[in-house]
Amino acid sequence: MNGDSSGKQQADFDALVASDQRIEPRDWMPDGYRKTLIRQIAQHAHSEIIGMQPEGNWITRAPSLRRKAILMAKVQDEAGHGLYLYSAAETLGVDRAELLDLLHAGKQRYSSIFNYPTLTWADMGAIGWLVDGAAIVNQVPICRCSYGPYARAMIRICKEESFHQRQGFEILHTLSNGTPEQKAMAQDAVDRWWWPSLMMFGPTDAESPNSAQSMAWGIKRFSNDELRQRFIDMSVPQAQVLGLTLPDPDLAFDDASGHWVPGPIDWDEFYAVLQGDGACNEERLANRRAAHDEGAWVREAADAYAAKQAVRSSQAVA
Ligand SMILES: [Fe+2]
Ligand SMILES: [Fe+2]
């Protein structure tokens, strides 16, 4: 390709992004844009399916049939989110099997939040309220991402996440208004999940060197710190309704800015979990690899069925 035509392609791409239109799979895009999206969408897809594990642990121990049915539906939703996102990644020219291999080899990440253990039933409430709540704040702007398939996948995902958040809030509300033991269990879960939820937005803007490029490409709309602040401002009044406290003695309302300002975040913990030192890193990956191996026969059966159908339809044409 000569310089003129690639310059024109870059200009067309820039114009599409600047006018807030969508880049579609058939469109030319810069290599860096494609690579960034593949990495981000894959990490997002991996997070959805690894995220099934901490809650899957509690399906058999849900306190009632109603809670069990809701939790099963929620965990199934997360599998569905993984599927939409792997499909969106495939429109960029990668294969889902390749992405799963990278996850299993530890070469692509998933959200560190899922490396924390789920110790009590109240954790199902705290995860729904805080982890799905943080996911919503992160993901709603991605509904306007410049890459069409990712943006469209996110619209449906966000609708389901909002149900997840409300079911978590309802679990905590019930426990918080229950016996003193139940209320203490709810408080303990919030104490353990609050800080990791704040870390879900990623490092501070100063430590997030790739954010500016992602913003220029229309992939990212708000900075990590802006989204984290939005989540804190949203969560403080909800905690008050729940009758639970947030485990941050420095958290205070700042009249000048109109925001709730948190105390310092323990970034050493964030980086330690990211590097593999979380309570559950090894367990999550081992479970994922085992599930993949045990599912080999399903993939083989699907391939055999597809091959049979292809022969049949070619015979029908002949
Ligand atoms: Fe999800
Ligand atoms: Fe969710």
**244 to each of 176, 184, 190, 236, 247, how far by Cα in Å?**
7, 9, 8, 10, 10
CA of 171 to the centre of ligand 2 (A): 15
For residue 36, what pLDDT is reported? 96
CA of 291 to the centre of ligand 1 (A): 19
For residue 249, what pLDDT is reported? 97
Segments of the chain scoring below 70 in pLDDT: 1-4, 318
Q: Say if CB 253 and CB 229 are below 8 A apart.
A: no
For residue 2, what pLDDT is reported? 47
Three-state DSSP at 259 gives: strand
β-sheet bridge partners, residue 254: 259
Which amino acid would we find at residue 211?
A: S
Query: Cα-atom radius of gyration of the chain, to the nearest Å?
Result: 22
CA of 314 to the centre of ligand 1 (A): 39
CA of 165, nearest ligand number? 2
CA of 80 to the centre of ligand 1 (A): 8
Q: Say if CB 216 and CB 150 are below 8 A apart.
A: no
Alpha helices in the chain (DSSP H): 3-18, 31-50, 52-56, 65-90, 96-104, 122-126, 132-139, 148-176, 180-199, 211-216, 224-242, 267-272, 281-294, 296-317
For residue 4, what pLDDT is reported? 59
CA of 157, nearest ligand number? 1
pLDDT digits (tens, 9 = 90+) for 149-168: 999 999 999 999 999 999 99
pLDDT digits (tens, 9 = 90+) for 262-272: 999 999 999 99
Those residues with Cβ within 8 angstroms of residue 186's Cβ, 6 or more apart along the chain or in another chain: 122, 125, 126, 172, 175, 176, 242, 244
Q: What is the reported pTM?
A: 0.93
For residue 118, what pLDDT is reported? 96
Residues bordering ligand 2, an ion, CB closer than 5 Å: 132, 161, 164
CA of 162, nearest ligand number? 2
**279 to each of 47, 54, 113, 274, 284, how far by Cα in Å?**
17, 12, 11, 11, 10
CA of 81 to the centre of ligand 2 (A): 8
**95 to each of 42, 85, 91, 99, how far by Cα in Å?**
11, 12, 9, 7
CA of 164 to the centre of ligand 2 (A): 5
Q: Say if CB 114 and CB 283 are below 8 A apart.
A: no
For residue 318, what pLDDT is reported? 67
Residues bordering ligand 1, an ion, CB closer than 5 Å: 48, 78, 81
What crossing angle do the helices spanning 281-294 and 96-104 adopt, rounded to 10°?
140
For residue 237, what pLDDT is reported? 98
CA of 47, nearest ligand number? 1
For residue 133, what pLDDT is reported? 97
CA of 195 to the centre of ligand 2 (A): 18
CA of 124, nearest ligand number? 2
